[in-house]
Structures are given as structure tokens and as C-alpha cells.
Amino acid sequence: MNHSLSIENDIDGDTLHEECGVFGILGHPDAATLTALGLHALQHRGQEAAGIVSFDGQRFHSERRMGLVGDHYTDPATLARLPGDRSIGHVRYSTTGETILRNVQPLFAELEVGGIAIAHNGNFTNGLTMRRQLIADGAICQSTSDTEVVLHLIARSKQASSSDRFIDAIRQMEGGYSMLAMTRTKLIAARDPIGIRPLVMGELDGKPIFCSETCALDIIGAKYIRDVENGEVIICEIQPDGSITIDARKPEVSQPERLCLFEYVYFARPDSVVGGRNVYAARKNMGINLAKEAPIAADLVVPVPDGGTPAAIGYAQASGIPFELGIIRNHYVGRTFIEPTQQIRAFGVKLKHSANRAIIEGKRVVLVDDSIVRGTTSVKIVQMIRDAGASEVHIRVASPMIFHPDFYGIDTPDADKLLANQYNSLKAMCDFIGADSLEFLSIDGLYRAVGGEPRDNAQPQFTDHYFTGDYPTRLLDRESTSNVRKLSMLASNG
């Protein structure tokens, strides 16, 4: 599965999407430029919209745009409208709220304690419930983003300082999230109590940085300091003398961390380090374990670009079957002419991928993919490989079957749309896809690839509900809305 492609190219809705990525820096003269570069490195986490808010010592400045970071924030005129030595930024793919400009983060509000901008990655599982309570109490909501709920809670908090108000607000929220807030003097970072969504702390020229992945530190030459711990709130504040103090506050009752496994399977960039583990190495280990669990006699191991590549390398090394680029990805698929018409759907996969006939023809091929969601893309890729002359096509998937939807920031189809729930046997799935065989990595194989040990069923080491149905938090909105997530909002063209 290739999540680096724009959503316009996801013509079948057969990919998973991360909600967003965040980046923030305090006290650096090139704050907005560095934030734009950091967001560029995090572009894979959201391609619908991007926003940056800066503060120049007197005023807050906001630039929010639909589309990619590079479409807007490479313009010197845009960056010139973001002066100041502190800023936070956000790239977005929506799981809650429409794709309209008023939902683009960071969101900003002027409160009794001063201006505050906030941005978050993930999803609140009680966001709708809290929104209804706020509206019933007279609140006016301008967006459909559940981030706005936090702004209202900050405004209503009885705590004295902006830091304490922020902590008071997020302690009322449930779900999986990493969040940044910026006030006139502070950059605040927070992570959900069990650490479902990642957040790291870095440093550049002695100035603190927070971002979703280490790849955003690498792009600007910043130093990785540590991960923000689950449930932790870190408050960085510029003092009158220009120095920066750092106050790390941890919850009174700590819980074991349970990072989202899909960060390793799919979302994080392979050059990132998530939870102290190199993503590329984890994905390669998935392929190694897959080769041990599901061997097959074949001539070639071929990755489904780009997500399947590290696992395919691991599969090839463990199996002794040669690795080849049997599918070539087109990195320059146009964004404007691809409309989801039936005619385009018929050949859509070829816009993204082309079979390397000279390598494939007459060969028994093992296709390695990182995951299968609905299976419609797999059908087309298998057919493409057969059309290129492959004698056999065997699919090996470097993660378990996906049975359950996500409510922590991943945009998953409804359960009945997932391939694993549409067929009652592996053979039936294989027949639908049109492959000669189909096998998935086991949950223990995935756990060993990432953490080195099998799953502890009594106390799972990671968040893995999409595979197992074991949701790590309450799903309050789901329970109270009879599975309906609808918000009324004036239609907007901007």
C-alpha cells in the first residue's frame, strides 16, 4: 500500500490514512521556515491541508492552506507573513470533520489568559460527547474538528495559568493523541495516557522542538532528545531574559505505553525511529518472519511499492529467493486530471504502478505488501502481474488481517467493507484477489518483528485493535451515538 501518494490518487478508497502530523519550535529566528521543512518531512501523515501559526512577540500570525506543504510554504512571501521566533504547524488528513479551511489546524483562539494555538494528531473518542455538552451549555463551534473542543475546555477552565488550563482540558479528553499548543511565551507538548500516537522532542541550536516523527528532526539537522512519554505534558517557556525553561509533568497514575502498531506497519516513514525502534528494521523483520511462517517455492520476491519494499527485502533474504523490482511506481502521477469516473477506475492502478515485464514474464512471483484493507487494489495488481506474463502470483502480507475499524486517528473503512470480514476463509479471499496463494503475518510474528517478543494477551505491549478487536480505551462517542458520527455544519467552499 502506498500512502505517500496524494488522496486524489486513492481512487478506490483502498488505503489507510493517518489523520495528521505536528511540528513546533520555540525561540528560533527561523521558526516558520523550520516548521515548513518539518511539515514537509511529515507530509506522508496528511496530504489534505497544512497550517502554520507563528508569534512575533506582539501578534500571532496564521497561514492555513488546502493541499500540500510544497504547494504553499515554499513561497518566500508566505513565510514572510509568518514572522517570529516560535511557531507550530500541522499537516492534515481528516478522520473527523469535513475537508474545509475552517477545520485546518492549528486552530487559534483569544482567551482570557491570552492567545493560544493548538494542533493535534489522532482522535478523541469522547470528542463528540464533549462537544454536545459544550453546545448545550452555550458554546458556539466554528469548525467540525474535535480539536476545537479542547479550546473551549481551556477557555472554561478555572485554573490560573495557561499551562494548567491546557492540562485541565486534555485530562478530560479520551482517545489517542499527541498535541502541541503555543501561547505568547510557551510551547506545550502532550501525549495521550497510553501513548497511542507518537511524539518526539528534539533540539536545534539549543531551542526545543516537538514533532510526530524523528524524520522531521533529521530534515533540519536537529538533535533527537527523547520521546515524550505517554501521559506526559512538557511546558517550554521563554523567560524575560531570553532563556527557556522546561517543565515536564507526568500523570499521577501512569499506565504502560501502547504505541499504535500501524506506525510500524504503514504510517511512519521508514527512516524514522518510533518508540526507540527503527521503522525500516521493524518492517524488514516483518518480512523475515513472514518468510518463516509462509514459505513458498518461487523465482522472485517483488514488493508492492513503496510500503512493501522493506518487508520484501526481509522475505527475500530469509527465503533465499531473489528480490526484484517487478513493479515500478510512477512518482509523477498528476493530481488534477484524475477524477473518480468509471473509466479512470478501470485503469487507475496503472497510473501508479507498472509491471516490469522483462523481470516478471514466465516467473513464479511472491508479491509482498504491507497490509490489505479492502483488497480492490490487490485484485488489480495481481491481474497486472499476470498480464505481464507471470506463471504464478503468490501474495504475502507483512501484517495480520484487518478486522476492526479504528477510532484513534486512522481513517479505516466500516468493518463490513474490510476484506477480512467479507469472506469466511483465506481461500475465498485468495480467490477474490485472483492469486495462487495468500498468507498474512501472524500477530505474534508482527509483535516479534517490532518488539522482539510475542503478544502478551493479558497486557498487550502495543495498540492492535484493528487486528484483534482489543480497543485500549473507552469508545464513548461510539457508544452514545449508535455508531453515527455526524455533525451539522454550514457548507463551505473555502
Sheet holding 364-369, edge to edge: 300-303, 364-369, 392-397, 437-440
Quote the pLDDT of residue 274.
97
Q: What residue ranges define each of the domains in the chain, with the CATH number in brackets? A: 21-257 (3.60.20.10), 279-468 (3.40.50.2020)
Quote the pLDDT of residue 411.
76
Question: Which member of 20, 236, 260, 430 is catalytic?
Answer: 20
How far is Cα 490 from Cα 103, in angstroms, rounded to an integer?
12
Report the Cα 54 to chain-centroid distance in Å: 24
Helix and strand numbers (H, E) in the chain are 18, 23
Output the CA angle 62-63-68, nearest 5 degrees: 150
How far is Cα 459 from Cα 457, in angstroms, rounded to an integer?
6
> Using CA atoms in the order 55, 61, 63, 69, what is the torsion angle rounded to 10 degrees?
-20
Q: What is the pLDDT of residues 107-144, one digit of tens each?
A: 999 988 899 999 999 999 999 899 999 999 888 888 77
Which residues does 258 contact at the CB level (< 8 Å), separation at least 6? 194, 195, 196, 230, 460, 461, 462, 463, 472
Q: What is the pLDDT confidence band of residue 346, given thresholds at 50, 70 and 90?
A: low
**Residue 347 backbone class (left: φ over 0; alpha: ψ -120 to 50; beta: rest):** alpha
3-state secondary structure of 143: coil
Please say if the pLDDT value at position 344 is more than 80. Answer: no
The β-bridge partners of 353 are 329
How far is Cα 237 from Cα 22, in angstroms, rounded to an integer?
19
Q: What is the pLDDT of residues 260-273, one digit of tens each?
A: 999 999 999 999 99
Quote the pLDDT of residue 482.
46
Quote the pLDDT of residue 485.
44
Active site residue 215: no
Residue 138 is placed in which grid cell? 452555550
Identify the residue whose cell numbers are 521508514. Answer: 270
How far is Cα 175 from Cα 479, in angstroms, rounded to an integer?
14
Q: Give this prediction's pTM.
A: 0.89
